[in-house]
């Protein structure tokens, strides 16, 4: 079973459209993340949720809206897509131990978004 799974793996769409990427983890982790990797390969954190609560919200345009229906799922909805949104989006999860320390990240395989 895949620990962190994202769908779709590839997404090609026109500028101005709205699209969603879904992420699910079966590791029982409390915390989930969205990272964006652009064409220069920089991995930048976008959002993080802990037990369905938003805890990290980097300077991301408000066209991007994460949603966590439960702690195993973190979806990313993007409105009015722009050319610059083309990137690979990675979902990740981690567990917080009893001492409050966050463990290592487990990443999904990525969702490659191409905006034409």
Token digits for 70?
């439960």
Tell me how far, at minimum, the Cβ of 102 lies from another protein, in Å.
5
How distant, in Å, are the alpha carbons of 15, 38, 76, 80, 84 from that of 114?
Answer: 10, 11, 15, 13, 9
Task: Measure the CA–CA gap between 54 and 36, rounded to whole angstroms.
Answer: 17
Tell me how far, at minimum, the Cβ of 19 lies from another protein, in Å.
20
Nearer to another protein, 25 or 75 (CB): 25
Tell me how far, at minimum, the Cβ of 75 lies from another protein, in Å.
17
Task: Measure the CA–CA gap between 115 and 47, rounded to whole angstroms.
Answer: 21
Nearer to another protein, 42 or 80 (CB): 42
Residues making contact with another protein (CB under 8 A): 4, 31, 33, 35, 41-45, 48, 50, 55-56, 88, 90, 92, 94, 100-102, 104-110, 112
């Amino acid at each position: 079973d895949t620990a962190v799974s994202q769908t779709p793996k590839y997404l090609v769409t026109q500028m101005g459209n709205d699209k969603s990427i879904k992420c699910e983890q079966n590791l029982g982790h409390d915390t989930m993340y969205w990272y964006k990797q652009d064409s220069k390969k920089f991995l930048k954190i976008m959002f993080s949720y802990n037990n369905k609560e938003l805890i990290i919200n980097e300077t991301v345009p408000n066209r991007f809206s994460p949603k966590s229906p439960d702690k195993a799922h973190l979806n990313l909805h993007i409105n009015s897509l722009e050319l610059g949104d083309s990137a690979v989006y990675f979902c990740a999860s981690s567990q917080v131990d009893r001492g409050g320390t966050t463990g290592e990240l487990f990443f999904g395989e990525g969702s490659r978004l191409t905006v034409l």
